[in-house]
């Protein structure tokens, strides 16, 4: 709850700064400030959902609606995770763009983007209460373990693994399609503007290569011993 209050204070301060300097700074600076405010709003929604899920986990409900209550708490917890992911992506983009465009003229705004990026990244790691809601039997494996990823994955039951794999396959297909479309878009952009995007296109090609090879290799059966 304390973090929620801190985020709200950040939001109010950011709104004050935006309205006070809106007409006296570059359009890019205003856009970056708005992006930072959106990140803070996402963090507020995330923290609110976390608090709501934690409070809901303390409630005692009738056995007849226990499953419904558990699913509701899980949905709330995953809503919080979604807001955090949005905040992380926006703050990451804002930090990079701000550093390129505003590091000399508006370094404070860029610094705020970096701070929000750090906060969003730290927020990715769920509390024990949230983990107990989404997966009551989950136990984090030893970080020093050589098989950490496998041990982590084995914490989930078959149903959860199916949902995860289905989501990851959909993500794999979406990312591949988007990268291909982006490469074509950059090609046409280079043609019509005479502003070469060759390095970006090559980078996308390398990324596609790594994704495809990694995915195909993961499907290859292991050697029999």
Q: Are 207 and 180 in contact (CB under 8 A)?
A: no
The counts of H helices and E strands in the chain are 8, 0
Q: Are 133 and 57 in contact (CB under 8 A)?
A: yes
* pLDDT beyond 90 at 134: no
pLDDT at residue 85, as a whole number = 92
Q: Determine whether 94 is exposed, middle or buried from the number of CB atoms within 10 Å of its CB (0-12, 13-18, 19+).
A: buried
Which tokens sit at 116?
């929000």
Q: Are 62 and 138 in contact (CB under 8 A)?
A: no
Taking the domains of the chain in order of start, what are their residue ranges? 2-142, 156-225
pLDDT at residue 154, as a whole number = 78
The better pLDDT of the pair 36, 145 is held by 36
Confidence of residue 216 (pLDDT cuts 50, 70, 90): confident
Q: Measuring CA to CA, which residue among 114, 127, 115, 161 is closest to residue 46?
A: 127
Confidence of residue 65 (pLDDT cuts 50, 70, 90): confident
| Angle in degrees, 0-180, between the axes of helices 107-123 and 27-57, rounded to the nearest 10 | 20
* pLDDT beyond 90 at 88: yes
- Give 3-state DSSP helix, strand, coil % of the chain, rounded to 5: 80, 0, 20
* pLDDT beyond 80 at 105: yes
Q: Determine whether 83 is exposed, middle or buried from the number of CB atoms within 10 Å of its CB (0-12, 13-18, 19+).
A: buried
Distance between CA 33 and CA 37 in Å, rounded?
Answer: 6
The better pLDDT of the pair 54, 209 is held by 209
pTM, whole model, 2 decimals?
0.80
Counting residues of the chain whose pLDDT is more than 70, the rounded percentage is 92
């Amino acid at each position: 709850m304390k973090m929620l209050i801190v985020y709200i204070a950040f939001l109010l301060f950011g709104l004050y700064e935006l309205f006070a300097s809106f007409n006296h700074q570059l359009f890019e600076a205003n856009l970056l400030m708005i992006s930072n405010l959106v990140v803070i709003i996402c963090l507020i929604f995330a923290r609110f959902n976390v608090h709501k899920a934690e409070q809901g986990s303390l409630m005692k409900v009738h056995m007849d609606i226990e499953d419904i209550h558990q699913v509701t708490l899980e949905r709330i917890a995953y809503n919080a995770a979604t807001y955090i992911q949005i905040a992380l992506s926006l703050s990451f983009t804002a930090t990079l763009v701000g550093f390129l465009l505003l590091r000399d003229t508006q370094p404070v705004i860029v610094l705020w983007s970096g701070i929000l990026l750090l906060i969003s990244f730290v927020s990715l790691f769920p509390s024990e209460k949230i983990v107990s809601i989404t997966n009551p039997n989950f136990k984090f494996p030893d970080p020093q373990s050589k098989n950490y990823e496998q041990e982590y994955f084995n914490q989930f039951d078959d149903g959860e693994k199916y949902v995860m794999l289905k989501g990851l396959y959909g993500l794999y297909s979406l990312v591949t399609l988007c990268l291909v479309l982006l490469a074509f878009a950059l090609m046409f952009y280079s043609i019509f503007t005479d502003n070469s995007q060759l390095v970006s296109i090559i980078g996308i090609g390398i990324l596609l290569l790594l994704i495809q090879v990694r995915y195909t290799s993961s499907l290859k059966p292991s050697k029999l011993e």
